[in-house]
Structure 1
């Protein structure tokens, strides 16, 4: 089995090399890039299984880099930053990051997050290692009003038009749609969808729900698929 390929975009050489060394010890193939624009070329031209992305970079900052990557790539992206403000975390998650880690962090924690995100991505997508592309397969479907969720193909359509979603947005929508009319707290969703206890916070859930709503609930007068139950959590309405 080929090694999983990880791209680290980090301009602090000491941190980048430390991350690389720990990941290589655990069997990953790692490429380092320090410049944002060069990293973008690398991310778009080569096939990686996961990207670790610093926020403050020369050439192009991590947020702009993530935005460009998400136009075509839906592999896991972990953002790391010394900036601990909630607004930065919300911005990163809102742009499609799967995780946001603040410095300083332990290298073993980073390895654990990488492993958890890759395992979950593989389990839910059926992606071939090192390709980032879905296998063609017959799709099971959920049809709720004008919304169609193709489970195996991991596609979402609304009134016949395809809705582009990140891996975690799809996972969250599918979980709620498969469990309609039940209220789930943010903590429960973090556990059931992300499946990495102590490696996230509830802001992650809030941001992802907001992004899903932006994509499938654009019309305020239309059907509201995901309802907020104040003080309790979220509920999928059929």
Structure 2
């Protein structure tokens, strides 16, 4: 059974309890917070492996809480949004969320997304802790002009300047950088990075690409690293 700890931040007690029951049945340890400030306090004092974060909350909403979490932690964040809040979904992804689920939602769908996020997060952590990685099978450092990607430590620099990427953003950048010249459409990027079937997720990938460009470059309208092949997808060229 799983032993990872999941923090549920939602001002609706019924949702906290419902989600908590389903995740407890999967073997996860559960922490519950009623708003962003209470959630941040848990993150300061507890080891948390994934955060489920509602957007609309008192005192500190989900967008603000997401930004604060990303200042110091790279744990996966799944946002909960209302169906009509499309801009909130985009804002959530822009500020560092890895995925989102719209309310009302099927608890089993949320559980599946939690498992998918944790699989990738734990696998990347395991890779980072394995100092004996066979470099003939997996490059430790990828250099493209002034862009340097260390896949062991997850450090990214441009002209020596440190770039803070979310786990999902790093995974997309690594995928493209490991396959220079290869064009990946949004479906392939989603399936390779999210490790689940592509379903109406084109906008999710596009928002992540935009975020990466804005962090890597001063002018994302004329991208230097991630190129758009119109009507096809994205690539990085050496």
* TM-score, structure 2 as length reference: 0.91
Residues 164-203 of structure 1 aligned to structure 2 (within 5 Å)? 164-198=164-198, 201-203=201-203
Residues 23-62 of structure 1 aligned to structure 2 (within 5 Å)? 23-62=23-62
Residues 158-237 of structure 1 aligned to structure 2 (within 5 Å)? 158-198=158-198, 201-219=201-219, 224-237=224-237
Aligned to 1:82: 82
CA–CA separation in structure 2 for the residues paired with 1:192 and 1:203: 16
CA–CA separation in structure 2 for the residues paired with 1:199 and 1:224: 29
Residues 3-152 of structure 1 aligned to structure 2 (within 5 Å)? 3-126=3-126, 135=129, 137=131, 140-152=140-152
* Secondary structure of the corresponding residue to residue 129 of structure 2: coil
**Is the contact between residue 11 and residue 57 of structure 1 (CA under 8 Å) also seen in structure 2?**
yes
**CA shift for structure 1 position 86:** 2.4
**CA shift for structure 1 position 152:** 1.3
CA–CA separation in structure 1 for the residues paired with 2:187 and 2:198: 10
**CA shift for structure 1 position 33:** 0.8
**Is the contact between residue 137 and residue 153 of structure 1 (CA under 8 Å) also seen in structure 2?**
no
**Is the contact between residue 183 and residue 235 of structure 1 (CA under 8 Å) also seen in structure 2?**
yes
Segments of 4+ moved more than 6 angstroms: 220-223
**Is the contact between residue 51 and residue 77 of structure 1 (CA under 8 Å) also seen in structure 2?**
yes
**Is the contact between residue 125 and residue 154 of structure 1 (CA under 8 Å) also seen in structure 2?**
no
CA–CA separation in structure 1 for the residues paired with 2:22 and 2:116: 15
CA–CA separation in structure 2 for the residues paired with 1:199 and 1:22: 24
Q: Deviations over 1:40-70 (max 9, x none)?
A: 2212332200000001111110000000010
**CA shift for structure 1 position 206:** 0.6
* Secondary structure of the corresponding residue to residue 56 of structure 2: coil
Distance 1:79 1:149, change over 3 A: same
**CA shift for structure 1 position 219:** 4.7
**CA shift for structure 1 position 146:** 0.9
* Secondary structure of the corresponding residue to residue 168 of structure 1: helix
Distance 1:113 1:237, change over 3 A: same
CA–CA separation in structure 1 for the residues paired with 2:90 and 2:57: 19
**CA shift for structure 1 position 177:** 0.4
> Which ranges of structure 2 fall in alignment gaps of 5 or more residues?
133-138
CA–CA separation in structure 1 for the residues paired with 2:223 and 2:23: 45
Query: Which has the higher mean CA deviation after the structures are superposed, 68-77 or 84-93?
Result: 84-93
**CA shift for structure 1 position 220:** 6.5
Query: Which has the higher mean CA deviation after the structures are superposed, 167-176 or 193-202?
Result: 193-202
Size of the aligned set, in residue pairs, is: 232
> Which ranges of structure 1 fall in alignment gaps of 5 or more residues?
128-133
Distance 1:49 1:199, change over 3 A: farther
